[in-house]
Amino acid sequence: MQEKMLIEDIRNGSEKAFKILYSQWVSRLYQFVYQYLKSESATDDVVQETFMRIWTNRESLNSEYLFKSYLFTIAYHCLLKELKRQINNPSMEKYLEYQNTMATKDDEISDEIDYDTFQKALEKAKSHLSPRQREIFELNKECGISIPEIAEKLSITDQVVRNQLSAALKTLRNELTGFNAIILIIVFSLH
């Protein structure tokens, strides 16, 4: 089926035509997005959002214009949105600092740590914390909230926050032993 006909069918609400167009473009779009994000889960999100926007705005599709241009323009905007979100994520900032530190060292690094792997390991490690330790850790290290502010928010003393945070950091250090260089930079200095 020609692309122009598919687009007309999609404009008229044809899910079948949409699936055909999707299957024709999804792998190319995935490769385009992945080269910038280097994260499978983030790439999946951007690709899915791109196609969701196309479906949601299907009535505005114009079969006279190249679908490829339309598709990649939407993907580009979704990609920029995701990059902005990642840059504002404290974990990403710390990860980028770590990558920069490692890139400037003279000795070669045999294993390149990717962000997804680290995030999964951190989430798994956090599951070993008590609910209170996890809450305090996330408020302090991921949201950047100070110890006195956490104490006030949770109606506990500063010392209790420090003790819980210290215990959480000790547990996470033990759980993330394979990520020692990251740990020193990312998560483990008390505010």
**Sorting pLDDT into bands at 50, 70 and 90, what band is 186?**
very low
* Each residue's pLDDT tens digit, 87-121: 666 665 566 666 656 555 444 443 445 556 767 77
pLDDT of residue 98: 61
Cα–Cα distance measured from residue 129 to residue 110, given in angstroms and rounded to the nearest whole number: 31
Q: What is the mean pLDDT of residues 77-91?
A: 76
Q: What is the mean pLDDT of residues 61-80?
A: 83
Q: Is 89 exposed, middle or buried (0-12, 13-18, 19+ CB in 10 A)?
A: middle
Q: What is the mean pLDDT of residues 17-24?
A: 91
**Sorting pLDDT into bands at 50, 70 and 90, what band is 182?**
very low
pLDDT of residue 89: 64
